[in-house]
Amino acid sequence: MSKKPFSKIIAGTMTWGVWGKDCNTKQMIDLMNCCLENEITTFDHADIYGDYTTEAAFGEAFSESKIDRSQIQLVSKCGIQMLSEPRKTFVKHYDYSASYIVWSVEQSLKNLQTDYLDLLLLHRPSPLMQADEIAKAIEKLKSDGKIIDFGLSNFTPSQTDLIETKTKVDYNQIKFSITDFEAMLDGSLDYMQTHNIRPMSWSPLGTVFKKDDEKSQRIKKIASEFASKYEVSIDIILLAWILKHPAGILPVCGTADPVRIANLMKATKVEMEMQDWFALWTKSAGVPVP
């Protein structure tokens, strides 16, 4: 088990299961192979996706695909306890006890039909989390060879500091896009660069294609011009904008469309000019750079 670099674009699997396209086994295998054919080797999961069903659906497809485990990287998250009768939960909450983290990872490994995760993330911060409990679980999981790296998701710098008093944090998956860019202004991305933490971004296209408001229209107009200039589609321009940031952000793209997947890595080839980058930010913000 050796540490492999993650692909510059990560495949988000949340919509592959019942929370989205509800792919059958063959469709999931086709999506995996489509990703690999286009140099996307890293797959992002969470135990809760599909109401605790998507990991197992992916795992069955992965097993049937005969894809070499060493050729891919699997990321998963734990900690959120959804309302679930089998789990005897009556309120959504977070559990970061050492025993729960270890149990949750073991469930993910069983569901994904693999011996290890390349990366485990704590899904969202909890006011009740204890850094020593978390460190105890991570130390055991690493020593048992069940995870390679450890990180966080949606954690602030101060929350990350708390966890890092006991164990090293390698990644933090945050909301970041052309429409949600606070992390580059509030110190979050500066903090990650300073502490050698690699950022991932979920929902990397933001609300551009979800809301038909004035902001989206402004962004689409200028992104369309740049799409012509750089000879790519608008969504690729928006990903290239993220990739230009010096923090080395890894976008997690949650599409189950093979045509879109085949285009994603084009974003890594776009050499966006500095003024174009600022022009996009300006259109999103609606005001000139201070």
- List Cα–Cα distances, 174 to 56, 79, 105, 197, 226, in angstroms: 25, 16, 21, 12, 26
Q: What is the amino acid identity at position 31?
A: L
Measured in residues, the chain has a length of 290
User: Hey, which residues does 81 pair with through a beta bridge?
Assistant: 93
One-letter amino acid for residue 178 of the chain:
I
d(CA 237, CA 7): 18
What 3-state class would DSSP assign to 97? coil
**Three-state SS at 44:** strand
C-beta separation of 161 from 131 below 8 A: no
Instruction: Give the residue among 211, 225, 158, 226 at the shortest CA–CA distance from 180.
Output: 211
Distance CA 53, CA 72 (A): 21
Q: What residues contact residue 165 under an 8 Å CB cut-off, 6+ apart? A: 131
Which residue's entry shows tokens 């107009």? Answer: 221
Q: Would residue 96 show up in a list of annotated catalytic residues for this protein?
A: no
Of the candidates 49, 96, 116, 171, the residue annotated as catalytic is: 49
Beta strands in the chain (DSSP E): 10-12, 42-44, 73-78, 80-81, 93-94, 117-122, 147-153, 171-175, 198-202, 250-253
Q: Return d(Cα 239, Cα 112) in angstroms, integer.
A: 28
- Give the active site residues: 49
